[in-house]
Amino acid sequence: MLLRRDRAMTAVSIVLDVAFHAGRGSTVPAGDIADRLSEARRGIEPVLQALSRAGILGSTRGPKGGYRLGRAARDITLADVVAAVLAPDGTPEPEAAPTSALQARVMLPLWTELEGAVMEELSRLSVAELLRRAAAAGLRRPTPEALNFAI
């Protein structure tokens, strides 16, 4: 699942795009996200819907509608994002059945172990950390950062 990067990578990229481009009180249109990611809008819609259902993104309908983070960037881990795009019952996408004893007894357990390590690392990283990395890479946010603080 995780080592197949497509859906998980798209989900993380979408959340980072929204966090980076949404300003105070504004939303990011799905079409803009798709354009920046060089994806078809209809191709990212299922991912946007899954992220919205999980509360990672909030959405607004209408002509000025779009997406914003559903909670503070520091409170969204990358593991949360990846988990949101798993199958509805929380399981990874179905994989092909092992074709040999070596694959069944060595490769599949190894892949499971590696995926566990990746998920553990993703649970340590937040969207706020990705925003810090973007700033360290010299990227400037196009709108002022949304105010978000806790007392």
The label of the residue with tokens 């559903």 reads: 70
In total, how many domains does the chain have? 1
Q: What's 98's DSSP letter?
A: P
Question: Which tens digit of pLDDT belongs to each residue from 32-41?
Answer: 999 999 999 9
Q: Is residue 149 part of a domain?
A: no
Q: What is the enclosing helix (H) or strand (E) of 57?
A: strand 57-60
Does residue 151 lie in a domain region? no
**Does 33 reside within a domain?**
yes
Asked whether residue 57 is assigned to any structural domain, the reply reads yes
pLDDT digits (tens, 9 = 90+) for 17-27: 999 999 777 89
What sign does the dihedral 58-134-139-6 (CA atoms) show? negative
**How far apart are the C-alpha atoms of 121 and 79, rounded to whole Å?**
8
pLDDT of 94 > 60? The answer is no
Average pLDDT, the chain: 87
Q: What are the Cα distances from residue 43, in Å, to 27, 46, 130, 146?
A: 20, 7, 24, 28
Has residue 88 been placed in a domain? yes
CB 68 within 8 A of CB 53: no
CATH at residue 16: 1.10.10.10
Task: Please indicate, yes or no, if residue 75 is contained in any of the structural domains.
Answer: yes
Domain around 39: 6-136
Classify residue 81: in a domain, yes or no: yes
In a domain, 1, yes or no: no
The answer to pTM > 0.85 is no
* pLDDT tens per residue, range 102-113: 988 998 899 889
